[in-house]
Amino acid sequence: MMNRRWVLDHYPQGAATADVWRLEDVPVPELMPGQILVKTQWLSLDPYMRGRISPGANYTAGVAPGGVMQGGGVGEVIASAHPAWKSGDLAESMEMGWQTHAVLNPDLPGAQATNRVPDGIPPQAALSWLGMPGLTAYVGLTEIGRPLPGDTVVVSAASGAVGQLVGQIAKLMGARVVAIAGSDEKLNYCRELGFDVALSHRDPQMAEKLAEACPRGIDVFWDNTGGHIHDTVLAQLATRARVVICGRIAVVDKPASEDIGLRASARLIVTRARVEGLVVFDWWHKRTEAFRHLKDWQAEGHIRYREDVLQGFERMPEAFLRMMSGANNGKQLVSI
């Protein structure tokens, strides 16, 4: 049996291009005791992947040239050397990688573990609202942002995989929520989800409109982007504000000198705001709690979710570039 896989050809200089990866066909290895062989059905595209194809230091090891591109996925077990897994089981794993067949070790700890896809949900939901994006939104709000009823929460990239959940959970927590996104379609979607205000980051009057929408300042800022949105919002923080730094997609392809860190330190002193970075892998122990709440909220009709699906394994680079450019609407997935 052969495995088709996307491997990193070279590190990109600036923005990634499709030739950063190349396709390879290699034999599927024999299973060792405790392993399972999974045939991929769905693969996830997430902004953290950009850091995996950079040579610089990150919060976890990246992909070296010649290595299989990292990423989460869902697939069907087609062979098992593990007593608790059998053919036909559905598995979700952050260790799937961009490949048609993956040999997995279900007993690895934390984020490396392989998990069963919960019953009663579409398989791809384990990569979206009931997967890493859902866990990210839940722990970022309940552990770091902690909005109180009546607080104002601002979310950048608000229609994306994480942002759309952040807004809906914040509303469930009693907050007033302002969306920032980049197109009329995305802004209208945020309004449909129940965001109280939706603003375009392309509007030259964004700062003035944000101030009008948040007359008492911003209590919680969920930052998925960095860049000028970050600077604009930090200038309007309320006293004791909490800032959740979740993503940097607006600046990830630019030289480090263009994103040298907080440029609103004086404002932070005045407001006594707290700024904290969020890496979801630090919170994997919260999975069970988070997913219980998310399943209940979704069953009660409080959680809606949009997915952007491309068909075909050969389109993985296209899907990555689509996500990085913001062309996707909702969670970017590829159906294999």
- The tokens describing 302, both together, are 């409080």
Model confidence, pTM: 0.93
Residue 48 forms part of a structural domain: yes
Instruction: Pick the more confident residue, 137 or 56.
Output: 137
- The tokens describing 25, both together, are 């066909």
- The tokens describing 126, both together, are 């384990």
Residue after which a domain boundary falls, among 281, 298, 323: 281
- 143 with 204, same domain: the answer is yes
Pairing status of strand 197-200 against strand 114-116: unpaired
Q: What's the domain range around 269?
A: 132-281
Residue 234 forms part of a structural domain: yes
Domain of 161: which CATH number?
Answer: 3.40.50.720
With a pLDDT cut of 90, the percent of the chain lying above it is: 88
Could you please report the per-residue DSSP string of 258-311? G--S-S-HHHHHHHT-EEEE--GGGGGGGHHHHHHHHHHHHHTT-----EEEEE
- 118 with 141, same domain: the answer is no
pLDDT digits (tens, 9 = 90+) for 46-77: 999 999 999 877 777 789 999 999 999 999 99
Residue 292 forms part of a structural domain: no
Residue 36 forms part of a structural domain: yes
Mean pLDDT of the chain: 94
pLDDT digits (tens, 9 = 90+) for 262-318: 566 778 888 999 999 999 999 999 999 999 999 999 999 999 999 999 999 999 999
Residue 297 forms part of a structural domain: no
Structurally, the chain folds into a number of domains equal to 2
Beta strands in 16-109 (DSSP E): 21-27, 36-44, 73-80, 90-93, 101-104
